[in-house]
């Protein structure tokens, strides 16, 4: 059965001005409502001056509480896509986007949910909060760090939620211009006795690192990162056991400026999150058409980076009715091989999060260093993330659809 096209079309039915530099776009997909989970994201394709750009933005809506499908975008200084969306999109216009994906979603449990957001990191956090309040009896506590009062996103919406769920939702607003930057003492004060709570973190990198390091445990930590491609971590031993308070991180496919430690936690205009997580260390996902489901696909799963020595074997790529073959290189991803072959394959994050580079492995085997985007069904059908897939067999063949 042919796979539906990666990018779908949706109409902008409404635009909400959240702050001077933040807009919520209400979207109506042409093919009917999307099925999604709170905390997920879509990758948008925008053509600017004839060149396609791909950026991923989280949903601020929640499927169990909102009838409209919404994504919230903060304007980033120098950000090609966020500026284009702010300056050019109007009601009635159309956008191209993928179906929602990502694993930054609510995990089952009965402990309190602790949300930490810096700036526009509140986008998936408010979606998760709405989902938690509507579908569970769990307490929700949010620490929202912003540069100043005018930068606070969803302030009125969170006030309304708190009034609707008295005793279950607590929102603590932190203004950098009034209170200084968030520090470890502030995090511990916020957590209080809820050390076993599940922490969900999204925001600029320094803010996230500070929160992760300050959390005392034993609660689980789930993080969704902004920025470019993640550094390739070392692969853990296969069969490693889960630690009691495992931190699971993902990287936003949208490039965002990373402030220095002296930058206010809420001051970075982070364009869009992306993501997925798992509760513990993961073994690399081994693909063989069809792809074998990974034991785990968290962002800590990665194969050691090898030298670029040429090995026996061939990588064959089918893209846009073109067929190219190049000699296999040790440690080179299939995306890198496609570029070396002179092709221009689709990609965005290059960190295993957005699925823009997805292709089907039709011959041979490959191991994905990270998979924070493809579902088990995708893997069973033979799909891989070419930015993360490294061949395991002398010859492999991939087809972009």
Boundaries of every domain in the chain = 8-97, 113-257, 276-399
pLDDT at 146: 95
Superfamily of domain 276-399: Beta-grasp domain (3.10.20.30)
Per-residue model confidence (pLDDT) at position 4 = 65
The CATH number of domain 8-97 is 2.40.30.10: yes
Pull the structure tokens for residue 342: 């002179």
Residue 33 reports pLDDT greater than 90: yes
Contact between residue 369 and residue 232 where contact means Cβ atoms under 8 Å apart: yes
Which of 3.30.420.40, 3.30.300.30, 3.40.50.80, 1.10.3720.10 is the CATH number of 113-257? 3.40.50.80
On the question of a cis peptide bond just before residue 218, with omega within 30 degrees of 0, the verdict is yes
The alpha carbon of 354 is separated from its chain's Cα centroid by a whole number of angstroms, namely 7
> What value does the mean pLDDT of the chain take?
81
Percent of the chain with pLDDT over 70: 78
Beta-carbon contacts of residue 153 (< 8 Å; ≥ 6 apart)? 18, 19, 22, 72, 74, 119, 120, 122, 123, 146
**Taking residues 293-307, what's their average pLDDT?**
36
Could you tell me whether strands 69-74 and 221-225 are parallel, antiparallel, or unpaired per DSSP bridges?
unpaired
Q: What is the pLDDT of residue 351?
A: 82
Query: pLDDT digits over 69-100, tens only?
Result: 999 999 999 999 999 999 999 999 999 998 89
The residue with tokens 């206010």 is 264
Pairwise CA distance, residues 197 & 353, whole Å? 26
Q: What is the pLDDT of residue 340?
A: 95
pLDDT category, 336, cuts 50, 70, 90? Answer: very high
Q: Which three-class secondary structure state does DSSP give residue 132?
A: helix
Kindly indicate the confidence band of residue 306, based on its pLDDT and cuts at 50, 70 and 90: very low
Q: Which residues contact 51 (CB under 8 A, 6 or more apart)?
A: none
Give the per-residue pLDDT at 372: 78
Give the bridge partners for 11, in sequence order: 28, 94
pLDDT digits (tens, 9 = 90+) for 144-184: 999 999 999 999 999 999 999 999 999 999 999 999 999 99
Distance of CA 157 to the CA centre of its chain: 23
Average pLDDT over residues 10-20: 97
| CA distance linking residue 202 with residue 183, whole number of Å | 16
pLDDT band at residue 323 under the 50/70/90 scheme? very high
What are 176-230's pLDDT values in tens digits?
Answer: 999 999 999 999 999 999 999 999 999 998 999 999 999 998 999 999 875 544 3
The reply to whether the predicted model has a pTM over 0.75 is no
């Amino acid at each position: 059965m042919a796979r539906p096209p990666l990018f779908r079309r949706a109409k902008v039915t409404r635009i909400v001005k959240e702050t001077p530099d933040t807009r919520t776009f209400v979207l109506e997909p042409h093919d009917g409502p999307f099925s999604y989970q709170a905390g997920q994201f879509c990758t948008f394709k925008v053509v600017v001056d004839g060149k396609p750009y791909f950026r991923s933005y989280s949903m601020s809506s929640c499927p169990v509480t909102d009838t409209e499908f919404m994504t919230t975008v903060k304007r980033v200084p120098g950000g090609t896509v966020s500026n284009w969306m702010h300056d050019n999109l109007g009601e009635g216009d159309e956008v191209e986007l993928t179906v929602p994906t990502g694993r930054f979603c609510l995990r089952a449990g009965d402990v309190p949910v602790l949300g930490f957001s810096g700036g526009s990191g509140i986008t998936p956090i408010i979606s998760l909060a709405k989902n938690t309040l509507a579908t569970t009896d769990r307490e929700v506590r949010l620490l929202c760090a912003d540069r100043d009062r005018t930068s606070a996103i969803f302030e009125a919406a969170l006030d309304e939620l708190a009034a609707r769920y008295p005793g279950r939702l607590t929102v603590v607003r932190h203004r950098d211009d009034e209170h200084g930057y968030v520090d470890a003492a502030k995090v511990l004060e916020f957590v209080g006795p809820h050390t076993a709570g599940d922490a969900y973190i999204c925001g600029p990198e320094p803010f996230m690192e500070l929160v992760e390091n300050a959390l005392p445990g034993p609660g689980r930590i789930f993080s969704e990162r902004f920025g470019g491609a993640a550094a390739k971590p070392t692969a853990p031993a296969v069969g490693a056991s889960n630690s009691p308070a495992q931190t699971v991180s993902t990287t936003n496919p949208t490039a965002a400026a990373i402030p220095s430690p002296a930058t206010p936690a809420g001051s970075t205009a982070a364009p869009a999150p992306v993501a997925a997580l798992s509760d513990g260390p993961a073994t690399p996902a081994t693909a063989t058409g069809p792809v074998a489901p990974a034991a785990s696909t968290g962002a800590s799963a990665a194969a050691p980076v090898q030298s670029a020595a040429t090995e026996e074997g061939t990588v064959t790529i089918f893209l846009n009715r073109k067929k190219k073959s190049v000699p296999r290189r040790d440690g080179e991803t299939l995306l890198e091989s496609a570029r070396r072959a002179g092709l221009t394959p689709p990609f965005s994050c290059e960190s295993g999060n957005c699925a823009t580079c997805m292709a089907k492995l039709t011959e041979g085997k490959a191991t994905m260093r990270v998979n924070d985007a493809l579902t088990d069904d995708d893997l069973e059908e033979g799909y891989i993330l070419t930015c993360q897939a490294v061949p395991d067999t002398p010859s492999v063949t991939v087809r972009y659809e």
